[in-house]
């Protein structure tokens, strides 16, 4: 069983029977295609991972209740994300139209207030310089008047009011500014207070409609948000299944490519198997474990981590033998470089030795099993 280590690494790809430059280029092309697919699948996998990570951080309580619905059932009843976006746009347009109607009704209230005989002081911005109100901007933070409100209500460039409550706040501000700056006994203060009371009366008549619209808008937004989240869950669940299927197909493609390469390679001889078995005994415990894992990949019944391992080299497929051969060659070369860099200095650390005792013991047991198997194969029957 003591074969020179130098004989073992002599495990080049071997003579590829009847291979041509075209065939080799074909293999390279297949490998490049696989690398490209792997990069694409990795990007998609990262996207899916990020989605589920973000969802777990800010998951709605409503979505937890809906999580009992299976993905298959969701897909049958849940519109696509594109459809959800289209529905959201339609809801926004309908809500904006309803709000415009409320603002029109508010405009009627505003005109009634503006037509009052006491409304004239509030129609235009306060003439601070003309009236020599030097402390006006120290008292009033945000000046407001009916002319400014009317212009903003009629604005078409997107700078106008977005909802009725914004207009209501500015109308109140007109009167509150006047009451704040002017003395309670002044005419302007009394006029502002009177008009504010009339405005509040009329506003209370419109308020139920405003509240109803706001509640409807809130409910629609919550429902739309939940539906969009569910649609995203369905889309990413489908992406996950598709990704899983593509990974399976890619694995099959790799297996086919591996078999194609093996078929082009010559078969490993009995002598090479013997040397390979001997080389396995030279591996470190870690590398030996990796070698046994290679065997287990094509042998479901093989227990790489079992206490006792019976490795029959003749029972292994050509693919497994070639992979073992390449792995052993690289591992022994790495061990040789590691030994050379160490300069032959032995580390006598007692802790390291105790940690390696179990590994070395298992290695001896596996090596003995390989040796016994080889002897059984080579033993001639007695006559």
Residue pair 107/153 in contact by the 8 Å Cβ criterion:
yes
pLDDT in tens, 237-277: 888 888 888 888 888 877 777 777 766 667 888 888 888 88
- CA atoms of 281 and 292, how far apart (whole Å): 12
For the segment 113-148, what is each residue's pLDDT rounded down to a tens digit?
999 999 999 999 999 999 999 999 999 999 999 999
- Which of 180, 182, 167, 187 minimizes the C-alpha distance to 114? 167
Q: Is 11 exposed, middle or buried (0-12, 13-18, 19+ CB in 10 A)?
A: buried
Closest by Cα among 188, 207, 201 to 123: 188
What pLDDT does residue 340 have?
76
Are residue 273 and residue 184 in the same domain, yes or no?
no
Residue 369 forms part of a structural domain: no
DSSP state of 265: S
The parent domain of residue 319 ranges over: 268-335
For residue 247, give Cα distances in angstroms to 78, 241, 243, 298, 373.
27, 10, 6, 19, 38
The whole-angstrom separation of Cα 374 and Cα 122 is 108
pLDDT of the residue at 191: 97
The answer as to whether 100 is a domain residue is yes
Averaged pLDDT for residues 13-23: 51
Q: Which long-range contacts (CB under 8 A, 24 or more apart) does 261-264 make?
A: 261/27, 262/318, 262/319, 262/322, 264/16, 264/17, 264/18, 264/19, 264/23
Q: Do 168 and 101 sit in the same domain of this protein?
A: yes
Judge whether 99 lies within some domain. Answer: yes
In a domain, 102, yes or no: yes
Close Cβ partners of 334 (under 8 Å, ≥ 6 residues apart): none
pLDDT at 69: 42
Q: What is the pTM of this model?
A: 0.48
Structure tokens at 356: 């390696």
Domain boundary among 297, 314, 335: 335
DSSP 347: -
Question: 282 and 146, same structural domain?
Answer: no
| Residue 194 forms part of a structural domain | yes
CATH number of residue 223's parent domain: 1.20.920.10
Query: 74 pLDDT exceeds 80?
Result: no
Q: What does the pLDDT look like over 79-100, one tens digit per residue?
A: 566 777 777 788 888 888 899 9
The reply to whether 178 and 296 lie within a common domain is no
User: Is residue 212 predicted with pLDDT exceeding 80?
Assistant: yes
Domain count within the chain:
2
Confidence class for position 159, pLDDT limits 50, 70, 90? confident
Residues 6+ apart with CB under 8 A from 364: none
Helix 285-297 vs helix 350-378: crossing angle, to nearest 10 = 50
Q: What is the predicted pLDDT for the residue at 314? A: 83
Provide the CATH number for the domain around residue 280.
Answer: 1.20.1270.220
From 210, 235, 260, give the residue that closes a domain.
235
Q: Are residues 311 and 220 in the same domain?
A: no
111 and 208 inside one domain:
yes
* Coil vs helix vs strand at 340: helix
- Whether residue 123 is contained in a domain is answered as yes
pLDDT for 179 beyond 80: yes
Of 220, 235, 250, the residue at which a domain comes to its end is 235
Determine, yes or no, domain membership for 185. Answer: yes
How far apart, in whole angstroms, are the C-alpha atoms of residue 190 and residue 118?
Answer: 10
Where does the pLDDT of residue 8 fall: very low under 50, low under 70, confident under 90, or very high at 90 and above? very low
- Tell me, yes or no, whether 181 and 274 share the same domain: no
Output the pLDDT for position 79: 59
98 located within any domain: yes
Q: Which residue has the higher pLDDT, 285 or 57?
A: 285
Considering the domain architecture, whether residues 89 and 228 belong to the same structural domain is answered as: yes
Residues 324 and 217 in one domain: no
Looking at every residue in the chain, the average pLDDT score rounds to 78
Q: Which range, 40-44, 364-368, 374-378, has the best average confidence (pLDDT)?
A: 40-44
Shared domain for 90 and 230, answered yes or no, is yes
Same domain, 92 and 180: yes
Are residue 122 and residue 207 in the same domain, yes or no? yes
């Amino acid at each position: 069983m003591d074969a020179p280590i130098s004989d073992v690494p002599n495990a080049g790809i071997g003579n590829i029977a009847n291979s041509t430059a075209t065939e080799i280029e074909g293999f390279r092309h297949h490998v490049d295609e696989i690398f490209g697919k792997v990069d694409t699948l990795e990007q998609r996998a990262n996207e899916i991972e990020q989605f589920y990570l973000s969802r777990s951080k800010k998951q709605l309580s409503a979505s937890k209740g809906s999580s009992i619905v299976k993905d298959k059932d969701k897909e049958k009843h849940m519109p696509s994300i594109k459809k959800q976006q289209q529905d959201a746009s339609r809801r926004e347009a309908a809500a904006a139209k309803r709000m415009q109607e409320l603002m029109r009704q508010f405009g009627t209230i505003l005109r009634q207030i503006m037509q009052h005989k006491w409304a004239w002081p509030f129609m235009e911005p306060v003439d601070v310089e003309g009236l020599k109100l030097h402390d006006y901007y120290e008292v009033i933070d945000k000046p407001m008047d009916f002319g400014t409100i009317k212009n903003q209500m009629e604005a078409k460039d997107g700078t106008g009011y977005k909802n009725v409550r914004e207009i209501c706040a500015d109308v109140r501000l007109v009167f509150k500014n006047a009451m704040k700056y002017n003395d309670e006994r002044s005419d302007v203060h009394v006029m502002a207070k009177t008009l504010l009371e009339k405005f509040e009366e009329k506003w209370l008549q419109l308020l139920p409609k405003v509240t109803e619209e706001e509640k409807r808008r809130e409910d629609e937004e919550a429902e739309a948000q939940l539906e969009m989240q569910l649609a995203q869950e369905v889309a990413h669940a489908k992406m996950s299944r598709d990704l899983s299927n593509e990974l399976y197909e890619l694995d099959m493609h790799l297996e086919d490519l591996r078999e194609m390469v093996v078929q082009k390679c010559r078969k490993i001889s009995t002598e090479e198997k013997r040397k390979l078995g001997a080389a396995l005994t030279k591996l470190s415990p870690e590398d030996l474990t990796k070698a046994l894992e290679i065997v287990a990949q094509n042998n479901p019944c093989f227990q790489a981590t079992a206490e006792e391992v019976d490795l029959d080299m003749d029972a292994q497929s050509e693919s497994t033998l070639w992979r073992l051969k390449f792995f052993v060659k690289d591992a022994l070369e790495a061990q040789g470089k590691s030994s050379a860099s160490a300069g032959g200095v032995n580390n006598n650390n007692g802790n390291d030795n105790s940690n390696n005792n179990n590994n070395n013991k298992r290695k001896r047991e596996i090596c003995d099993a390989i040796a016994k198997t080889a002897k059984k194969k080579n033993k001639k029957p007695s006559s």
